Amino acid sequence: MWYVIEGYDGEQVLEARKGARGEHLARLQSLLAQGRLLLAGPCPAIDAEDPGEAGFSGSVVIAEFPDLESARAWAQADPYVAAGVYARLEVRPFRKVLP
């Protein structure tokens, strides 16, 4: 089943985000290689493709996991969690309809 994982950035975490980005992306690449990643990306804090120093308000990942607990465990193990980037995580089942 698909799950949507939303990580919400804390305050003043842009440098921590930059520092953990490589490890974060490596985990996403692993999901992609396994055919389990539908989409992933950050949410700019302002209405701009490149928010610069404004940073990001969080990230969204939609990926396939065997169950909700597996999705939650994967999300909790994210380098952004370890680096203190995410102040909050939400994991919910997702049903793809379109396209």
- 97 burial type by CB count under 10 A (0-12 exposed, 13-18 middle, 19+ buried): exposed
Q: What is the pTM of this model?
A: 0.95
User: Average pLDDT per run of 10 along the chain, which is 99 residues long?
Assistant: 98 97 98 98 97 97 98 98 98 96
Residue 5 has a pLDDT of 98
